[in-house]
Structure 1
């Protein structure tokens, strides 16, 4: 009789060997090791023959738990055991893995209900799929919460859109040491913050000509070309307190609803400096 038939093989009692000794996972592992030793098969050689890792095979010979049944039968077949011997090892493994219920288990008293059997564990594939679904749902919930929190912060923290500021036009030119006279041409809104925009085709916004005393609704500010309201050719212009030079332009609403630009030097002094308006 081979080593594969001694411990828990066919023809023995369930859970016992031919000598009547109780079989166990630890003894199963010891017998598996003895087969390899009897055939002078190292763990490395068993790995080469069976495809199972040598460390996994070594662990299967140490116990004390019942090793993987496929590993054991694959290795035993690879090292030369006959098919019926391998089948005996497979039967022995099944007996140790699924022992029968004890015959002398006492029955519960009539008044006591039997505890419900625990639910069978889900298959690994099903558990993995369910876990992936749970993770995906969790990530989606986190993203939704983060999005709602961001939107709430924007609502609470973002400043409200500024109201338009009414600005007063001063379409006047500083001349000489102290004069300030109405310009011979009107001020207007430009599509770009550049000087002499009216000389550039398509730059001036039609219908926006104004004179001193007119108003615009300014909504923003920006930096454009430097411009002055002074007649630089006039005598002693450097002494004129009304002369202004600036690169600040205001964006104002044109009659057609679009935003045009006017230099602050053509606004009354109290309406210069950007007025705290946002950038255009």
Structure 2
């Protein structure tokens, strides 16, 4: 019930085009060399620069993973706000290619290059200088060796996240409840597969696993099976938006009913 209330509040906020600091975001100031910049961007930019500089200076300390994860999460949210998949067909092709790509560069590349290319690139090491880690990490609480981290790459969040965001957008447009929609099921499938990925990681002596190997089949399969069961798969696959009758047709139907 709590999740359903939150979703209804978000839906109401979206329909009313409500945004925090909307006035500041739509009011601009002219800055030399940069042109028109919103007051909100102008106010937030110094804090962002200071935060990034502090992390760059102290990124080798033991608690630097907190700043790294904050920067990574903000980047992920920004990407999910900007990039959208138009329909389920595009999402299926994208996730299927990413599924094969992840398996190849985690498992197959190890035979050719003697180490997993995907893991090395994600950590940002082996470059002779400090790299930019493209992952989120958190210390292992029960690691007997100490100093270990659980990591997940940005791609393992962003790519399935595009499908989850698509499901939420479809639910909003179709005015579906939380249980009758697709968002809850997509999030549940994604969460379960992350748990399975962590279990597989421990069963294989913490050897890096392609998370999309576990995430894509269930997340995408749940979406496809639900769409087929509800008779909405064709609309999801091609249009990506629910069928909404034309308002003029609704008025004509209402007039004909009143006449009868």
TM range (shorter): under 0.3
Larger radius of gyration: 1
Normalising by structure 1, we get a TM-score of 0.17
Higher strand share: 1
**Greater length-normalized contact order (CA 8 Å, ≥ 6 residues apart):** 2
